[in-house]
Amino acid sequence: MVIQEFYAGLKTISFLQERLPPFEEVKQTADSIRGKSLPESIEGCLLVDDVHWRFSAEREEESLVELDVDQYPYCPNCHTELERTTDDLIGSSMISEVRNRPFWDCVECDDSWSRTKRIRSDVEKHARKNAEKIIETRGKPFSLDVLADKYREQNDGETPSGKDIWRVYVSEQDGERLTTNCFYDAD
């Protein structure tokens, strides 16, 4: 009985050995997953408080190491970078907090949006959440490797840029804040 089990075990081992690819092949696969065809950073765009925010997220392997949100958002109408202004046209009879309401102002289309104090930390929070989801997972529909594969499938094997990853992500994921409207320029 024991001997029979021993021989069955040997059979399993030799079966496994036949199934394993040669060492070189394994190494090559690991290398390409590790970074050859995956961008080192991603770029994203979020709609927060009615204006568009651009950010970049740098990775090391599967860790988010640096998150950078642009200082000024973009106009949702014409994609111009917005300026910070304070509304002082309401009148001196108003209490100062109301009179000095902060705004994002577009010099191109003459539109403006109210600006809240905590907006940047809000944007950072949302940017981090999405960036971690992409960078720090593998094999899920929103993971960097899966998004890159999807891009290559649709673009004759071309390597995706950080913006391309975000474009595929937005097309695959539902989210009211997810947008690509910051990427109006040539690339």
Sign of the torsion angle spanned by Cα atoms 71, 76, 79, 80: negative
> 109-117 — which CB contacts under 8 Å span 24+ positions?
109/75, 109/77, 109/78, 109/80, 111/75, 111/77, 112/85, 112/87, 113/49, 113/50, 113/51, 113/82, 114/49, 115/49, 115/84, 116/49
Contact segment (CB under 5 A) with Zn ion among 27-35, 69-77, 119-127, 174-182 equals: 69-77
Helix (H, G, I), strand (E, B) or coil at 87: strand
Closest by CA position to 75, among listed 51, 55, 53, 49: 51
- Residue 179 beta carbon to Zn ion: minimum distance, rounded to whole angstroms: 15
- Residue 29 beta carbon to Zn ion: minimum distance, rounded to whole angstroms: 48
- Residue 82 beta carbon to Zn ion: minimum distance, rounded to whole angstroms: 8
75 binds Zn ion (CB under 5 A): yes
Contact segment (CB under 5 A) with Zn ion among 27-35, 74-82, 143-151, 154-162 equals: 74-82
Contact segment (CB under 5 A) with Zn ion among 55-63, 68-76, 142-150, 166-174 equals: 68-76
Residues 134-163 that bind Zn ion (CB under 5 A): none
- Residue 142 beta carbon to Zn ion: minimum distance, rounded to whole angstroms: 31
How many residues touch Zn ion (CB under 5 A)? 7
| x/- letters, 76..115, toward Zn ion (CB under 5 A) | -xx-x-------------------------x-xx------
Nearer to Zn ion, 106 or 147 (CB): 106
Nearer to Zn ion, 65 or 109 (CB): 109
Residue by residue, DSSP assigns 29-78 as HHHIIIIITS-SEEEEEEEETTEEEEEEEEEETTEEEEEEE-SS-B-TTT
Which residues bind to Zn ion, rule: CB under 5 A?
75, 77-78, 80, 106, 108-109
